[in-house]
Structure 1
Amino acid sequence: MSGTKKAEYRLRKKSGRFSIFILIFLVLVVMTTIQSLILGEYIDYTAISFSRVMFMHSYWVFAATVFTLLINYYNKRYYEKPVKILADGTKKVAGGDFSVFLKPLHRPDRLDYVDVMFLDFNKMVEELGSIETLKTDFVSNVSHEMKIPISIIKNYAEMLQKESLSEEKRAEYAVTVEEAATRLSDLVSNILKLNKLENQRIAPEMEIYDVCRQLCECAIRFEDLWEEKGIDLEVDIEDRAMINADANLMELVWNNLLSNAIKFTDAGGRVTICQASTEDSITVSISDTGCGMNHESMNHIFDKFYQGDTSHSMEGNGLGLALVQRVLHLMDGDIHVFSEEGKGSTFTVTMPAAEGVDGMGERQNSGE
């Protein structure tokens, strides 16, 4: 018999009513015997007729039967029935059905431990269902995101093999293949980073450093992009602001936010970097005059693979802001977004100020 069949057999097996009856009867007999020994000096049991003795034994059989039925009733109602409901629900969940809901047996004001167990089971199933949905969506999105650059690489690699192809076209196709390979490489890299962050396999190397200097260094890396699009970059930050964080991970935050701001800002637009300090926190805001977002997009902007503006889908993979949020969570930081459609977006990052360090500096203003 297989393990599954054995498990089902155990679920169907009835409780041992006869063994309970025998146990109760023996207890009653023992109690009667002890009582007889105690009262034996005062009562002459030899004078009791045989019919009376048989009647007494019949009485104890009846009493044992009543006790057995009562115990089985309460056992079935308060133990077997709830456990069977829970077992059936567990079996359905194990089979992939996450719509299972166990209704508590009592009213909300009379909940017992079984009811609480049912409610906890419902919460667990809800979480499992969410995780399963996320896993399915994640695999689907990863497959889709990988399929596009792989298809581009395959198609252009086939065209590069044509002998009649001009050198100009050959160079153009080679650049396209390189861009698709870079996109695929970035996707895999971001997935690995995100996986490590979510599973807390990245141990942040905390250090006290000047975030203002880091912001300037990150912005300079995008100089070619903003000049190519004719975007004005305005910077309003202090001379110095010290935070205690992992500089490499925070660099990922600024790079993603700046990249998105420039990507979603039309030619001739403006990107602004503002920074302010208090005794307890450092705030950095990166704003753009791009397409902005609606309320629905703002609710999902930090979800993996979510891209509110599909017109720029070829320029990213929807993992950047998910990475940003998880890095900031790891650094005890926070991020908020404010956006209006057609008017641009502002991402505000708040980080704890480094303790025991004067992070306040003179404000400097610059523009490009």
Structure 2
Amino acid sequence: MEREKRTGRRDGRDGERMIKDSLFPISLFGIFLGVLFLMSGIHVGLVVLMNRLNWSELVQTLVPMAYWSVVAGGLTLFTRKKIRNTYEEPLHRLARATEQVAGGDFSVYVPTVHTSARLDYLDVMILDFNKMVEELGSVETLKTDFVSNVSHEMKTPIAVIKNYAELLQTGKGTREEQMEYARGIEEAAVRLSDLISNILRLNKLENQRIDPEIEQYDLCAQLEDCILQYEEMWDEKELDLEVDMEERAPVQADRSLMELVWNNLLSNAVKFTEPGGSVKVRQRTTEEYVEVSVTDTGCGMSSESVRHIFDKFYQGDTSHSGEGNGLGLALVKRVLVLMNGDIHVESRQGEGSTFTVRLPLPGDKEDRPEVTEL
């Protein structure tokens, strides 16, 4: 019986795959042994037959030699064919595919030797190679989209600055109109500056060129400070703000990076909530983590938007696209990865969204607050 081992890979029916441990299993050597025993028996039969027929000694010598030459040749050809089909040809296909990928062709696909029910470790390596090529192709597409999106996002404020500057150069228009042009230039310049700053910050985060300054601090105090920064925006849109927090919640994280997280979530909640709506900020501590959720009664998102909400430059609601550049939530996601935290989104179109952030508790249990059931 073939020696096999279980792996964590699952097939299309959610069952465990059986992956063969060897390209040349024990059963193959059993076949060779059986064939040799059979051939030996035939050899003995030939010797007995030649003795009974009183063949000459020369014939009795040549016949076994010819017989074993045929047997050896057959076994050699069978073994060679088995090695070529099982080992050499798949590796040659893999080598050619690797050369194509090195040349920039990410459409390569290498077929496995066996079906999904009879995979061996070479098949698994080929499957992993195909997956790697697919991921590389996705990265290349994302890079192209990134350059395209950056160009588009920069083009808009630059065009605004150019148009308003040309209007100011004409010297026409009232004093109020000229001030309006200047404000337009300032707003476009701020938007362009924010875009460049976010791109640089995200690039540093993704390439791990930022060393987080981890410290223990009170998360509740930081949330209160961030919420107060948006007080004018709450009042302007007449939003109902509900805050449910503990008195103190210590966390170990980079204070400045986490401030970026809260500011992005709060600004999005205000931006996407219609006047007269409500925003709720809730914080609680469990035995494993500190959780903060920001819920709004805004426009909500479709399931497609939820899947891509953390992609760079993705903006699900185009009606607010002029108020951001689609990098905020990508930054949030990357920061939380660095902080060993995570973020979860629940949203229904037309009913609002809830962003839930979870951060691990500080390592020192003495500094942890007493957890009470809410």
- Per the TM superposition, whether the score is higher than 0.5 is yes
Q: In structure 1, how many angstroms separate the alpha carbons of the residues matched to 2:370 and 2:169?
A: 60
Paired residue secondary structure (2:245): strand
- Kept in 2, the 8 Å contact 1:206–1:244? The answer is yes
Classify 1:109/1:308 alpha carbon distance in 2 versus 1 (closer, same or farther; 3 Å).
closer
Deviation of 1:360 (Å): 5.0
* 1:138 aligns to 2:178 (yes or no): no
CA displacement at 1:302 relative to structure 2: 1.3
- 1:228 has 2:232 as partner: no
- In structure 2, the CA distance between the partners of 1:163 and 1:109, relative to structure 1 (3 Å rule), is closer
- Quote the residue 1:196 is aligned against: 204
State the alpha-carbon separation in 2 of the partners of residues 78 and 221 from structure 1.
67
Q: Does 1:338 align with 2:346?
A: yes
Asked if 2 retains the 8 angstrom alpha-carbon contact of 1:160 and 1:170, the reply is: yes
Per the normalisation by structure 1, the TM-score is 0.76
Judge which range, 109-118 or 267-276, deviates more.
109-118
Matches within 5 A, 1:40-119: 76-78=84-86, 80-119=88-127
Match status 1:295 vs 2:326 = no
AA of the residue aligned to 1:132: E
Q: Distance in 1 between matches of 2:71 and 2:346?
A: 76
Cα 1:257/1:67, change in 2 over 3 Å: same
Following superposition, the deviation at residue 65 of structure 1 comes to 9.3
Inter-CA distance 163–126: structure 2 relative to 1 (3 Å threshold): same
Give, in whole Å, the separation in 2 of the partners of 1:116 and 1:340. Answer: 40
Alignment partners' CA distance in 1, 2:72 and 2:295: 81
Alignment correspondent of 1:357: 367
Q: CA deviation at 1:212?
A: 0.7
Aligned residues: 314
Secondary structure (helix, strand or coil) at the match of 2:170 reads coil
Say whether residues 1:314 and 2:322 are aligned partners.
yes
239-248 or 104-113, which moves further after superposition?
104-113
Choose from 168, 180, 183 the match for 2:176: 168
State the SS of the aligned residue for 1:161: helix
C-alpha deviation, 1:98, in angstroms: 2.1
Describe the superposition over 1:177-202 as per-residue Cα deviations: whole angstroms up to 9, x where unpaired.
Answer: 11111111111111111111112221
Distance 1:64 1:279, change over 3 A: closer
Quick one: distance in 2 between partners of 1:112 and 1:278? 45
Q: What per-residue deviation string (whole Å, max 9, x for no partner) do you get for residues 178-234 of structure 1?
A: 111111111111111111111222111111111111011011111122222222222
Deviation at 1:99, TM superposition (A): 2.4
Given that residues 238 and 361 in structure 1 are in contact (C-alpha distance below 8 angstroms), is that contact kept between their aligned partners in structure 2? Answer: no
1:328 to 323, 332, 336: 336
Matched, 1:258 2:285: no
Q: Spell out, residue by residue over 1:136-159, the C-alpha distance to the aligned partner (whole angstroms, 9 max, x if none).
A: 111111111111111111111111
Distance 2:278 2:74 in 1: 87
- Which of 222, 232, 251 matches 1:214? 222
- What stretches of structure 1 of length at least 5 have no aligned partner? 1-60, 364-368
**Contact 2:286 2:371 survives alignment (8 Å):** no
Given the superposition, is the C-alpha separation of residues 72 and 209 from structure 1 closer, same or farther in structure 2, using an over 3 Å criterion?
same
2:240 and 2:278 in contact (8 A); partners too: yes
Q: Which ranges in structure 2 are unaligned for 5 or more consecutive residues?
A: 1-68
Q: Which has the higher relative contact order, 1 or 2, with Cα contacts under 8 A spaced 6 or more apart?
A: 1
Which shows bigger deviation, 276-285 or 305-314?
276-285
Q: Report the AA paired with residue 207 of structure 2.
A: N
For 1:101, give the aligned amino acid. Y
- Partner of 1:317, secondary structure, is coil
Contact 1:198 1:326 in 2 (8 A): yes
Cα RMSD for the two superposed structures = 3.1
* CA distance, structure 2, for counterparts of residue 237 and residue 73 of structure 1: 72
* One-letter amino acid of the counterpart of residue 340, structure 1: R
